[in-house]
Amino acid sequence: MFLPVNTTHRTETAPDFRDEEITSFVEIFFNKGRQFIHTMGSRLTPCYLFEPAVITDRAEKFKRAFQSHLPDTGFYYAMKSNNFPDVSGTILKSDFGLDVSSGVELELALELGATNIVFSGPGKTETELDMAVMNNDKVVVLMDSLTELKRLEERAARINKKIRTGVRLTTEPTGLWKKFGILPENLNKFIQAAKACPHIRFQGLQFHSSWNMAPEKQVKFIEKLGQILGALPERHRGMIRFIDIGGGYWPEQGEWILETQEMEKQRNGRGKAIRINPSTPIEHFAEEISQALFLHIHNQINCRIYFEPGRWISNDAMHIIIKVMDKKYDNLVITDAGINAVGWERFETDYFPVLNLSQPAMTEKDCLILGSLCTPHDVWGYRYWGEDIKEGDLLMIPTQGAYTYSLGQAFIKAVPPVLSFP
């Protein structure tokens, strides 16, 4: 039996770090959890719960934010953030294209009937390039280097097809991120080389920055890009029909991090502080990015602006449901699922509320919520929200739609199935 939520918030043992935003989040998802269980029962755990309506809502909200400022836009969902086919299938209905980064993703996009695809990423193989060229009416290849330009020309020439292309510009010329794209100062040289390739239709540019809590990094690079464009010969500027500014938009709830200096205490099941890294609404991203584009880009060229949101779209659309199989101690339970479901030790560093749907209450209590894998790092959380916890209770970890399902792996246990709701 699922009890009504006691909305009086209190914390037992865990430190008093609570924020209105977190308690509001918990209350919302307790209510959602009741709806899930009422509709679907407890017939299958563990599982991912997928909400197609959330994908549609997020897609429309993202489009509205940018279309209210920019006259010519294109939107592409980054499949890598969640590669469950129904996620991409749902977003295609919202007039999105798909952003793919491998032949596997490209093949899936084509199977789903996508007709507007951008293919990005370094190190594309001949087989992947062949697939793109064979589907040149549907695919734009975002090249990553001069080597890839030459290879793509060779593959296209073999079957005498022309392919639409752009090139990625690296935003960080030092460190690991320099693996992506070409240096902006080499753009003119690259365009010159592309013009010499009879099967390459060079049309645009791409750049990307990740983990954007606010638009500062994107705005700063747009300003730099304006300077790069200004230095190009006019004949080369005129070839640019689109600029793809990538993704990396963080969802509004921000990032909730377990403080690392307390890690040992945390692993011993004691209270642990939470640091909230706030994000900004997508409307603020749209306003600031659009203003930068008008100031630095559209005063030089008229081009379409592409966006590649991934996490921002998929994050809120999936939740994980697990069951308590064993209460070994008052402060330690074992569940029927392991973190192979998400593919990495996420919950040792990231805080997500664990909600006891069987005994809901706005009370958070210290308890190690552990999985059933043969590793001590199989951690779902260090606390749960609820009146109590016992064997058979159903637990929910909300908003697990981004970089979880795609990373899931069959380590000891299978990746849980996905159930769509409603």
What's the half-sphere exposure (Cβ side, CA atoms, 13 Å) at 336?
18
How many CB atoms neighbour CB 332 within 10 A?
13
Which segments within 248-372 are labelled E, that is strand? 255-258, 274-277, 304-307, 318-329, 332-335, 355-356, 363-370
**What pairs with residue 362 in β-bridges?**
none
Known catalytic membership, residue 303: no
CA distances from 266 to 4, 273, 372 (A): 30, 9, 19
The two structure tokens encoding residue 313: 């779209």
Ramachandran angles phi, psi of 67, nearest 5°: -70, -20
- Which residue's structure tokens are 């209270």? 271
User: Of the candidates 40, 45, 29, which has an alpha carbon nearest to the alpha carbon of residue 393?
Assistant: 45
H-state helical runs in 272-388: 282-296, 311-314
Which run of H or E residues covers position 236? helix 234-237
User: What are the residues whose beta carbons fall under 8 Å from the beta carbon of 165, sequence distance 6 or more?
Assistant: 140, 141, 142, 143, 149, 152, 194, 200, 201, 202, 203
DSSP 3-state of 146:
helix
Angle at 309 between CA 229 and CA 119, to 5 degrees: 65
What is the C-alpha to C-alpha distance for residues 351 and 344, in angstroms, rounded to an integer?
14
Question: For helices 146-158 and 126-134, what crossing angle results, to 10°?
Answer: 60
Q: Annotate 63-108 with DSSP letters as a single string.
A: HHHHHTT-SSEEEEEEGGG---HHHHHHHHTTT-EEEE-SHHHHHH
Q: Annotate 43-60 with DSSP letters as a single string.
A: SS-SEEEE-HHHHHHHHH
User: What are the residues whose beta carbons fall under 8 Å from the beta carbon of 390, sequence distance 6 or more?
Assistant: 324, 327, 359
Catalytic residue among 47, 197, 367, 374: 374
* Active site amino acids: 374
